Amino acid sequence: MSVNIIDSQDNSENKLVKEIVSAINRAISEDVFDDYQRSGLDRQHSNSYNQLIWDHINDNLSHIADDHIIGGYTKRGFWNVYSMFDTQTGYIYSFMREKRFFQIANEHRKKHKKNTHYITALAFECNPDLEPIQMSFFPIKPAKAETKAIVDSICNDLSIPFDIVKGHRVILFETKHGALSSVRCCTVDRTLEIHDSIDLTSYININESIIIEEIDDPATRINNPTLGLKLRDKAKKKKELNDNIVLVDKDKEVQKTK
């Protein structure tokens, strides 16, 4: 099964993918940083960094204005999970860090998770025709009533009937040094094995506010700790914030040795 999310002839799908990647990228590389800049809070010792990222990701996704896209929040424990439904393709989209997805998948296969995760429920209910890649003598079968209740709740919050859903896809992403480093769209089976995926990393755009300009002078490259790169104003502020965090750590180490 191929994840034909992007059709070169379909400008609406191309536009949607770019908007999804942009929404995630802005949340990680700009919005959270702006919050800490405005509040003056110390990001290094913040307890809410990851929660803030998800608040901004969900908010950015909710502002994608496409006529064929329906979005909605579903309460799952302490979390508000945001999902999207594409009326043109019939697919529900979920969003998750790739590392977290594999953690859930491992717990699911080892039967360590007592409660069914919503990603598992969506895979069971929405992708029933995907046969597991690796067959097992002891197949994992979460309670049908539980998976159905979870998916029905998500469909309710999306204001759609389940019978128009044709499948489920999950957008997996990773970050590196406070920036979005990879994004892909995947279809998964009921064992949470990835059947197919398409890399969306090329849709990550370097934000104008943090773009760096190269300096051609080799001597400048050697003597400049930014390796010959000239930072724009917003990037300078971000670097100053990170440098201050490093200085605080060094001061603590010096005090420990006294």
d(CA 2, CA 187): 8
Give the distance from CA 189 to its chain's centroid: 19
The answer to whether 213 and 227 have CB atoms below 8 angstroms apart is: no
d(CA 135, CA 138): 9
Give, for all 258 residues of the chain, the pLDDT tens digit: 445 555 544 566 678 889 999 999 999 999 998 998 898 888 778 888 889 999 999 999 999 988 899 999 999 888 899 999 999 999 999 999 999 999 999 888 776 566 789 999 999 999 999 887 665 545 556 677 899 999 999 999 999 999 999 999 999 999 998 899 999 999 999 889 999 999 999 999 865 334 333 334 444 434 444 434 444 555 555 555 555 544 545 555 545 544
pLDDT value of residue 231:
47
pLDDT value of residue 216:
41
d(CA 19, CA 69): 12
The answer to whether 183 and 201 have CB atoms below 8 angstroms apart is: yes
pLDDT value of residue 58:
97
Give the E-state strand segments of the chain in sequence order. 69-76, 79-86, 91-97, 167-176, 179-188, 194-199, 212-214, 229-231
- For residue 100, the tally of other CB atoms under 10 A from its CB is 12
The helix/strand/coil state of 163 is helix
- Dihedral of the CA atoms 233, 238, 239, 245 (nearest 10)? 150
Give the distance from CA 231 to its chain's centroid: 27
- CA 11, 55, 103, 119 torsion-angle sign: negative
The helix/strand/coil state of 211 is coil
The answer to whether 156 and 167 have CB atoms below 8 angstroms apart is: no
The helix/strand/coil state of 50 is helix
